[in-house]
Structure 1
Amino acid sequence: MSRSLEPTLSVTSVDVVIIGAGFAGLSAADRLVSLGKSVRVVEGRDRVGGRSLTGQVAGVEVDFGATWVSPRHTAIRGLAERVGCTTTDQFAEGRNVLWMAGKRRTYASTIPKVSPVALVDMARVQLALEKLVATIDVDQAWESPEADRLDTISFGEWLDQKHALSATRALMTVVSKVQWGCTPGDVSLLHALRYIRAAGGVDHMLDVEGGQQQERYLQTTQEIAKRLADQLGDSVLLGAPVRRVTQDDEGVTVHTDTEVISASYAIVTAAPAHRADIVFEPPLPEAAAGLARSWRMGVLSKAFVAYDKPFWRTNGLSGEAVTDTGTVFITFDVSPEPTGPGILMAFCDPRVFDDFDQETRRSQVIKQLVDLYGEQASSPIDYVDHRWGAEPFAPGGPNPAVAPRATTTYGMALAEPHSRVHWAGTETAGEWAGCMNGAVLTGQRVAERVNELLPIRTPEGASR
């Protein structure tokens, strides 16, 4: 194969080169190594884990990114168990807090208990949503019945068409911000339906007990990735953004700032929007290029506020709150022990959060926690936050905020190989797209697919 290799860079030759050291990339590498293949995992960040990141507040490690697992997330749970990471139940005892239209009330269910009229409306809209979700082909949403119609409007426009009341819209706005890092008006109805179907339906997506928020990892989710990377050892290269991927009939060459990797195949696990940061030679087909242009990432931020103890529990509260105004729009109790420290995790709207300095961000968050939990919330012992939109490399999250028409126009390119370049990552999953479980599944599946394409080597080392 004729390739121009930069003479000043080291050159590595492996069976498969994997771009991205998140759960998809590490799972792909792990599976290929178990099959006897050589791999090189290259990651632009100086860490593994992708959209999983460990932070610390009041001496306690917390999840800046991906946090929870469901009992049905068997792939990530199996991986975590293998590397010795254990779960703990998400605390959910007591009453939840609702702040809506300037009024505070408490409730004891997944759906906030508002007025009887609003409850009927929420049930009506959820039923209509579930009926549409049931029509979606989770593996090929663009082939679903009426996909073209469903992709011409936003989730917000659909809520308008259903004449959703303000309380219903407020709840769906919280769902949209958490799942796609945007408001309902910024995401295609078809894209929203695909992700809800992938998550197992509205109830499974929202619930704590029996749902996607049932458990979190004591060691944090990034620790799973760290331990898996440790097992892969020197096969993982950090701080090496991929600039160019070239290929011909004989193989693939991946060019980074520090190393050139020659391989038979490449697996790219970057989110669709971040594929645009790589130059592909030959160029990507139009559908794949359009996917990278149009499937932009959403943006979400988190804050963690620590107290001597979880005082809200004494007051009969769960630490879970939903609010329709301000910086914070949902909170959870992630305290390590009943005796303390007490830690509230707050999801924050980046539009009114990210551009301020940390002291202003801290003040905004604490003010809202006082509204939700009382004056005791005004005296924290520690505070930390993380803005995913401000990440210097591959910013954004948790998932793509895909606008109308982009799914039916470009969605088919999500997992379609570009000759010797194959794609993985949670966005490419069918079932469980958008979560860690989907990422692990795609890494394993694509690894097995590529393994079948690799030449069989004889004991003497020759291929046939």
Structure 2
Amino acid sequence: MHVARERQLSRRTLLGGAAATAGAVTLTTTAAGTASAATRDVEVAVVGGGLAGLTAARDLVAAGRTVAVLEARDRVGGRVVNLPLGNGQVTEGGGEFIGPTQDRIKALADSLGVATFPTYNTGKNLLYKDGKKTAYATDGLLGAVPPVDVAGLANAAIVQASLDDMAKQVPLDAPWSAAKAAEWDKQTFESWLNANAVVPSAKFLLDVACTSIFSAQPRELSLLFVLFYIAAAGNESAPGTLERLTETAGGAQESRFVGGSQQVPVRLAATLGDRVVLNAPVRSITRSGTKYVVTADGVTVTARRVVVALPPPLAARITYDPLLPAARDQLTQRMPMGSIGKAIAVYDTPFWRADGLNGQVVSDTGVVRSTFDNSPPDASHGALMGFIEADEMRAYDAASADEVKAAVLKDYAVYFGDKAKSPTSFVLQRWDNESFSRGGPVAFAPPGVLTQYGAALRRPVGDIHWAGTETSTYWNGFMDGAVRSGERVAKEVLAAL
């Protein structure tokens, strides 16, 4: 890792994102490129150096096209980032998991020599509910089922089956065209749950699933968007299911990347060399004759085609001339980012394993309500990772890093005992406070958005094309969806050039 970038990442981690804005526009030379190259003339300008933009660039270059990738940050990866722990060790501050049917991120990682290893899942999960802590097995007949009352489990199973059945009726490439799209899109996920998850413990389980998946509350989400998201949790041969979204073994959290997930975009960017320009936030995209002028801090690129590989609300912060069509602009005004942070406490050993625990918690209280064992495959140290999501994250957005740390360690001690109070180090990534993310893991659709504006999500505007995980028809919101969107948009651009 470049020394200067490691220092910047460490500083951003300690401040919970406050340093990101200050350092993001500093023009520095890195292994991937430099913003000192003031002008470039290429066939395709790619805005965004995350997995989507880098994948699109890879495929365009492979087809013999000239490309420039403009990345606002001082690193590649977007919502995928490794956080340094010292002594060459890292942990993941953003997207990290990979599971079955996530074929495209797996193929990309394989091609770059980035291996995977199983997420630690040996031992029992913990349920903390109503002030009581209960351990439960992950390998029962029904899988990892929290030990709530029988009526709640039965109701939750019915609700899950209903959601999966409805999701099968949602066309992945056009969810707004589903036969019941208007009915589903006019209500929140919360209102539907209130009518169907009628046992309180079942409602609790579905609420936890919702915040864990979207980093948003059920009241914020369109039911149609939730159904689409479930349908997208699969591939061409395996329909999506809610279980695949939420499970560890056999689900989206099944595996992790050796060396951290950012190894994938870092190695991918290395194959593109100086085509990737860092510290170059794009400010405007202007049509000039038959080309576009893409103006970023420190660099201007002229191109025949432009790929914007950013979440919709961030793509909206660029100035476009001519103006974007109203439908596209209205769409971006209505798709907010989820609210999420990740807090990782590091210990000499993963001590919870000796107690027969796998480090995974589901809780009804606290700032951290779900956790994972984020230790490296050799268990050379222990790491507990907690998600801070939705209302809990928003409540701490303005808090100091020390205040967040104190709240997180209090929760960890409740779940895992007094040893959790004294980590050897602690890192925090608050995506809400990142100037070039402003939340995560995905931009979501509230009621009324998909049926009114969804068609503008992928539709090109002139010679501007849209990528990013939010545009994917499979694994929307995940690293796999980002890769798929890059592959899709590259084909789209190549067909048009």
TM-score, structure 1 normalization? 0.93
Kindly state the Cα deviation for residue 74 of structure 1 after the two structures are TM-superposed.
Answer: 1.5
2:88 equivalent to 1:54: no
Change (3 A) 1:46 1:58: closer
Deviations 1:218-240 (A, max 9, x none): 11111211111111111011111
Kindly state the Cα deviation for residue 10 of structure 1 after the two structures are TM-superposed.
Answer: 3.0
Q: Which residue of 2 aligns with 1:108?
A: 137
Deviations 1:214-269 (A, max 9, x none): 11001111121111111111101111111111125612221112122111101111
Matched residue type, 2:52:
A
Q: Which residue of 2 aligns with 1:269?
A: 309
SS in structure 1 opposite 2:64? coil
Q: Which residue of 1 aligns with 2:261?
A: 221
Extract unaligned runs of 5+ from structure 2: 1-35, 139-143, 234-239
2:56 equivalent to 1:42: no
Q: Which residue of 2 aligns with 1:330?
A: 370
1:158-307 aligned within 5 A? 158-199=192-233, 200-247=240-287, 250-307=290-347
Matched residue type, 1:118:
G
Change (3 A) 1:337 1:73: closer
CA contact (8 A) 2:314 2:436 kept: no
Q: Which residue of 1 aligns with 2:109?
A: 80
CA contact (8 A) 1:57 1:304 kept: no
Q: Which residue of 2 aligns with 1:27?
A: 55
Q: Distance in 2 between matches of 1:198 and 1:68?
A: 16
SS in structure 2 opposite 1:66? coil
CA contact (8 A) 1:309 1:338 kept: no
1:449-460 aligned within 5 A? 449-454=492-497
Matched residue type, 2:401:
Q
The farther-off stretch of 18-27 and 190-199 is 190-199
Tell me the number of residue pairs that the alignment of Structure 1 and Structure 2 aligns: 447
Q: 1:402 aligns with which of 438, 445, 452?
A: 445
SS in structure 1 opposite 2:262? helix
Q: Which residue of 1 aligns with 2:40?
A: 12
Matched residue type, 2:99:
S
Q: Distance in 2 between matches of 1:275 and 1:260?
A: 18
Kindly state the Cα deviation for residue 442 of structure 1 after the two structures are TM-superposed.
Answer: 1.2
1:299-318 aligned within 5 A? 299-318=339-358
Q: Which residue of 1 aligns with 2:100?
A: 71
> RMSD value over aligned CA atoms?
1.6
Q: Which residue of 2 aligns with 1:386?
A: 429
CA contact (8 A) 2:117 2:377 kept: no
Extract unaligned runs of 5+ from structure 1: 1-7, 455-464
1:341-360 aligned within 5 A? 341-348=381-388, 349-360=392-403
Change (3 A) 1:339 1:291: closer
CA contact (8 A) 1:19 1:43 kept: yes
Q: Which residue of 2 aligns with 1:460?
A: none
Q: Distance in 2 between matches of 1:152 and 1:270?
A: 27
Q: Which residue of 1 aligns with 2:12?
A: none
Q: Distance in 1 between matches of 2:202 and 2:398?
A: 29
CA contact (8 A) 2:342 2:429 kept: yes
Kindly state the Cα deviation for residue 392 of structure 1 after the two structures are TM-superposed.
Answer: 2.0
SS in structure 2 opposite 1:68? coil
Q: Which residue of 1 aligns with 2:10?
A: none
2:454 equivalent to 1:411: yes
SS in structure 2 opposite 1:332? strand
Q: Distance in 2 between matches of 1:338 and 1:420?
A: 48
The farther-off stretch of 343-352 and 248-257 is 248-257
CA contact (8 A) 1:247 1:420 kept: no
Deviations 1:414-448 (A, max 9, x none): 10000100111111111121111111111112112
* Runs of 4+ displaced beyond 6 Å: none
Q: Distance in 2 between matches of 1:240 and 1:378?
A: 40
Kindly state the Cα deviation for residue 122 of structure 1 after the two structures are TM-superposed.
Answer: 1.1
